[in-house]
Amino acid sequence: MKPLKINPEYQTLVPRPIDEEYKSLELDIIEKKGATEPIKINKKDEILDGHTRFEICSKHALHFDTQIMDFQSVLDEKIYIIETNLKRRHLTDYQKIEMAKPLEGLIAEKAGQRQLAGTLSSNEDKGRTGELTAKAIGVSKATYERGKKVRDEGTEEERKKALSKKYAVNSAYRDLMKRQRQEALTVQGVPPLPEGEYDVIYVDPPWDYDFKLRGAPDEHYPVMSDQKICDLQIPSAENAILFLWATNPRIESALKVLKAWGFTYKTNMVWVKDKIGTGYYFRGQHELLFVASKGDISPPFESVRKSSVLYANRKEHSKKPEEVYTIIEDYYPNGKYLELFSRNKREGWMMWGFELE
């Protein structure tokens, strides 16, 4: 048998096994008097897969077989080396994503070669690197993209959390997104409120919570303390009506906020959702829309008054029923409308928020 060659670049494409893994493999090979799986080599007798088995067999003068792998290019050999090791080793999703970092560049390079050869268009390749990398390492594209963000942008604590157990990537990703949103709010500050005065104001405050539950708001958008919301100088007219959403754990907060803004509580409407959510004592299936006023503003005409209960489907996180806009417009058809903490636009309304589309 020809002596096998070690290509240093190939050897460093994958991390060396930790001591526990190495010792376990060494004992297995010694017990079986040699490697049961052949060492994969290329036509130049360079080891592609099996560096550790080759090292152990050489140290103990044990038998091993070889198998020649025929690849078209060095690039293909590198991709094979990483993919094979990722599939063989018992790794968590995040460990696979960490090990896949060099693979991303190789797959992108391979796609570039296909484009030059005319077998793949730039449109076909767009976004394919992540999809192909995820498939190669055996995780979903969503898990790969989230883990990659933790790997590349996470703190040491967030990366440690991702490593802590098999399915910890999503949890670490949520922590990272919370941190980045709050950092962005701290750096950029609260955007200036609209100029002028508005007599119909609709608000869905970004409440913060003492206890973090699954699907907590700060996983989706920046949150604010009760005091910071109270301190906002709302551009309300002398005579104005306020529609303010309050979750059950934040009823006291909502009353505090509307009072700080100069409004007096009048009544509320209940939104009953089609799906149950999380909760502290009861799993929430409804939210309250408080109505408050300041100065001299009349209730809506009796002919347009709606039921105090609104049945509407729950959609994406914190998305409120579109029907509420229609209700407000029917109640005050000539109003000057302002929505605070909005994430969408509506004709005839002034919208203000951190994440306007």
Which has more pLDDT, 208 or 66?
Answer: 66
Q: For all residues of the chain together, what is the average pLDDT? A: 87
Q: What is the pLDDT of residues 256-302, one digit of tens each?
A: 999 999 999 999 999 999 988 877 788 889 999 999 999 999 999 99
Question: Among candidates 274, 270, 279, 222, which has minimal Cα distance to 246?
Answer: 270
DSSP string computed for 270-308: EEE-SS----SSS---EEEEEEEEESS-PPPPGGGPPPS
CATH 3.30.70.270 fits 198-352, yes or no: no
Threshold 0.75, pTM exceeds: no
Q: What is the pLDDT of residues 311-331, one digit of tens each?
A: 999 877 668 999 999 999 999
Spell 308-328 as b/e; 16+ CB within 10 A means b. eebeeebeeebebbeebbebb
Question: Mean of the pLDDT values across residues 153-161?
Answer: 89
H/E element, 79: helix 74-88
CATH 3.40.50.150 placement within the chain: 198-352
pLDDT value at residue 356: 60
Q: What is the pLDDT of residues 31-40, one digit of tens each?
A: 999 999 999 9
Question: Among candidates 272, 278, 326, which has minimal Cα distance to 304?
Answer: 326
47 conformational bin, left if phi > 0, alpha if psi -120 to 50, beta if neither: beta
Question: Among candidates 287, 338, 341, 276, which has minimal Cα distance to 310?
Answer: 287
